[in-house]
Chain A
Amino acid sequence: MIIDFKHTQSAHCECGVTANLINHAVKESDPQLSEALAFGIGQGIFFGYLPFIKVNELPLTTFRCPVGKIFKSVTRSLGIDVKWQKFSSVPKAMDALDMELDKGHPVGCRTGGYWLPYFPPALRFHFNMHNIVVIGKQGDNYIISDPVFPSVVECPAKDLALARFAKGALAPKGSMYRITRVPGKIDLKPAILSGIKGAAKSMVKTPVPFLGTRGIRFLGKCVEKWPEKFGQEKTILLLGQLIRMQEEIGTGGGGFRFMYSAFLQQAAGILDDPRLTPMAEQMTASGDLWRRFAVKAARHCKGRATQDDSVHAMRQVLNACADIETRTFKELLSIAG
């Protein structure tokens, strides 16, 4: 049995899942939610450099909000009801999933990407933040709408069970969610405004120096010190990790900055507010700078760094990003506030 579900490929798994699930649930007369809108309303954009939290012995850098927040914020601000479930045992979790599918409900699941056999081998790392929508079952295989992939994929039940109960940091514990009720009318305008406001606050009004735009400057400061502090070999590993966090599949390029730009562009249309258009352009500029930073970092990793790619030059690029983003989010705060 396969539910008639419109699979739209997107850059980021959680935004894609959010948009696809909501578009499936709302009436046809309601406005369709794009991935970028889900990202913006869900206050997805963020920055944090947390050297005291280690992933594979390397510091954590994040370009977006914690996992689950996008889906929660979007459904909450649009007034959509959601049923969340977590499980203690594998059979119970799989039975509950089968029951929902039998009723014809597409179900969102959080999984560990390492166990999903349809992933490219080169991307199978342990990370437990991968969201998918299960839309059917055929024999012993589940039919899955994984928004990161161009089309619908299949996954054996045994592997899906492993993925839903992946262990380690942020273990999903079989968590699954589905939309139970949508309001009579979906109004995007207030949701967009509150999304912009929330994101801008977390970018420019953080009380700690390692989050938001201050965090970008802090990262620049640290990058400049890496070679003398850790030596060449470790610096390369640190830079490599940074590139992967920034450009890992799901960001849409430039550490989510381009996606946010796309959101601002769509928001300008929906709210009919031309002030947002230059904001979108500024975010594009910031994303381009992040890409330039990644190119410089990659040259270090390849051992082909020139004078232009010195850690000092990289810090300047990051400072430029921080400047642009501080200005943009302050203006956004005054527009939405």
Chain B
Amino acid sequence: MEIKDVPQDPGILDDYGREICYAVDQNGNYNLVQSIGWYPKNIANRQAWQAIEKKINKAREDILGGKLSPIGFYMACNQMDIRLLAQYMGLYCWQVRRHLKPAVFKRIKKNVLDKYAALFNVSVDELTSLPDKLTRDCHI
């Protein structure tokens, strides 16, 4: 890749900085060049986020349909699966799986609920209700 070909396609990085690309100058010597992004990468990244959003939407529908507890929504927002969530909570997978059932969720002890809320960085009130906004940034 030559320096003049280093792509500058805005996308993922936004105002958060620039990444380094290695590119050659006219004499064939390597230089470090800052880049704002590259479109194939932006496409691939958008695709990954769409997959996450799809999971979040699915969770939302299931919760409204009474098949899933709100923990499922926050789990999807935080890109976790049952195994990862169980590790963060210090619980067994089967325990988390039970907490995902609406009937069991209503009976979860206060201290466990607090721990879920702290992990997802929301209040207990928010955790027990389903937020309206389609939050990609529910953690951020």
Contact = CB atoms under 8 A, between A and B. Distances in A.
Interface of A is mostly: helix
A124 B48 CA distance: 11
A253 B8 CA distance: 13
Interface string B5-21: 01000011110111111
A171 to B, nearest CB: 8
Interface in A256-307: 258-259, 261-262, 265, 280-281, 284, 287-288, 291, 294-295, 297-298, 301-302
A298 B40 contact: yes
B104 interface: no
Contacts of B29: 265
A237 B49 contact: no
A122 B14 contact: yes
A11 to B, nearest CB: 4
A249 B17 CA distance: 11
B137 interface: yes
A252 interface: yes
A167 B21 contact: no
Contacts of A248: 41
For the side of the interface on B, what is the size category? 35 or more
B21 A301 contact: no
Given A297-B40, A298-B39, A298-B40, A258 B20 contact: no
Contacts of B43: 240, 243, 298, 301-302
B19 A237 contact: no
B44 A11 contact: no
A261 B88 contact: no
Contacts of A56: 51
Interface in A29-44: 35-36
A167 B44 contact: no
B22 A259 contact: yes
A66 interface: no
Contact of B19 (A167, A249, A265, A301): A249
Contacts of A244: 41, 44-45, 48
A11 B79 contact: no
A123 B12 contact: yes
B130 interface: no
A254 interface: yes
Interface stretch (B30-38, B64-72, B93-101, B105-113): B30-38
Interface stretch (A113-121, A203-211, A313-321): A113-121
Interface in A20-58: 35-36, 56
A11 B31 CA distance: 12
B21 A122 contact: no
B9 to A, nearest CB: 11
B44 A301 contact: yes
B40 A243 contact: yes
**B19, B20, B51: which has the most chain A beta carbons within 10 Å?**
B20
Contact of A253 (B22, B39, B139): B22
Contacts of A241: 44, 48
Contacts of B6: 253
Given A167-B87, A243-B44, A244-B41, 12 more contacts: A9-B20, A10-B20, A36-B22, A120-B16, A121-B136, A121-B140, A150-B17, A248-B41, A249-B19, A258-B21, A259-B22, A262-B30
13 contacts: A9-B20, A11-B19, A36-B22, A121-B136, A122-B11, A123-B12, A125-B48, A149-B16, A244-B44, A253-B21, A262-B22, A294-B40, A298-B39
Interface of B: 1, 6, 11-14, 16-24, 28-30, 32, 34, 38-41, 43-45, 47-49, 51, 79-80, 84, 87-88, 136-137, 139-140
Interface of A: 9-11, 35-36, 56, 114, 117-126, 148-150, 167-168, 171, 236-237, 239-241, 243-244, 247-250, 252-254, 258-259, 261-262, 265, 280-281, 284, 287-288, 291, 294-295, 297-298, 301-302
